[in-house]
């Protein structure tokens, strides 16, 4: 009987944990990208990391050398992108986009190139605006500007269980694609 109570308690805890809200906020402004996650009431700064010193820098360098993503060939990433649209779509249908704001200013020395960049950005933003209600998307053109500029903010909320499911699907698809590539290579 005690084992049933313990198993029930564990299942109740896992169920409550799966319903915990998760929020991911990404922002880009003035050439600086920031990524912040929040699991329930706990905020976690994901990128950029705090400045590391000494031993931490050595460990990071070793990790980067051993990183699997640095050795992953392009066909594996292509396979992952093709096969895993379903979990991403599943997560996006269940996730709530709290804020989507994007400002893009097309500029450059060539007015024709700036106008074409403005047109492409406008078409892409129109497609996104149809999928995301309440999105604040603006494209502008500056014929006198030297460089194009972009700034934006995205905040997405989901449940922890949904995010774990999507991450597991991507991980499994990545490993399948990687092992398939290895077999074909041999």
Which parts of 95-159 fold into alpha helices (H)?
111-131
**57 versus 95: which is more confidently predicted?**
95
**101 versus 64: which is more confidently predicted?**
101
Strands annotated E in the chain: 21-29, 32-39, 42-47, 96-107, 136-142, 149-159
Residue 51 burial by CB count (10 A; 0-12/13-18/19+): exposed, middle or buried?
exposed
CB of 157 closer than 8 Å to CB of 23: yes
The pTM for the full model equals: 0.65
User: Residue 164 pLDDT > 60, yes or no?
Assistant: yes
pLDDT, the chain, mean:
79
pLDDT band at 152 (very low <50, low <70, confident <90, very high): very high
User: Residue 151 pLDDT > 50, yes or no?
Assistant: yes
User: Residue 84 pLDDT > 50, yes or no?
Assistant: no
The predicted model gives 34-42 an average pLDDT of: 85
pLDDT band at 68 (very low <50, low <70, confident <90, very high): very low
User: Residue 80 pLDDT > 60, yes or no?
Assistant: no
Sequence-ordered list of residues with C-beta below 8 angstroms from that of 73, at least 6 positions apart, any chain: 181
Domains of the chain by residue range: 20-185
Sequence-ordered list of residues with C-beta below 8 angstroms from that of 183, at least 6 positions apart, any chain: none
- Tens digit of each residue's pLDDT (9 = 90 or more) over 102-150: 999 999 889 999 999 999 999 989 988 887 888 999 999 999 888 889 9
CA distance 20 to 130: 29
What does the radius of gyration of the chain's CA atoms come to, in whole angstroms? 22
């Amino acid at each position: 009987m005690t084992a049933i109570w313990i198993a029930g308690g564990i299942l109740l805890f896992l169920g409550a944990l799966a319903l915990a809200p998760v929020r991911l906020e990404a922002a880009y402004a003035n050439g600086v990208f920031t990524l912040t996650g929040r699991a329930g009431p706990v905020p976690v700064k994901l990128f950029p990391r705090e400045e590391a010193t000494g031993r931490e820098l050595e460990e990071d360098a070793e990790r980067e050398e051993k990183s699997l993503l640095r050795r992953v060939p392009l066909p594996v990433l292509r396979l992952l992108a093709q096969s895993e649209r379903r979990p991403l779509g599943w997560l996006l249908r269940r996730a709530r986009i709290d804020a989507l704001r994007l400002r893009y200013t097309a500029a450059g020395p060539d007015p024709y190139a700036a106008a074409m960049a403005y047109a492409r950005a406008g078409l892409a933003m129109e497609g996104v605006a149809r999928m995301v209600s309440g999105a604040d998307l603006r494209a502008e053109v500056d014929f006198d500007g030297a460089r194009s500029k972009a700034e934006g903010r995205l905040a997405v909320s989901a449940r922890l269980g949904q995010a774990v499911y999507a991450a597991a699907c991507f991980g499994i698809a990545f490993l399948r694609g990687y092992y398939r590539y290895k077999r074909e290579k041999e």
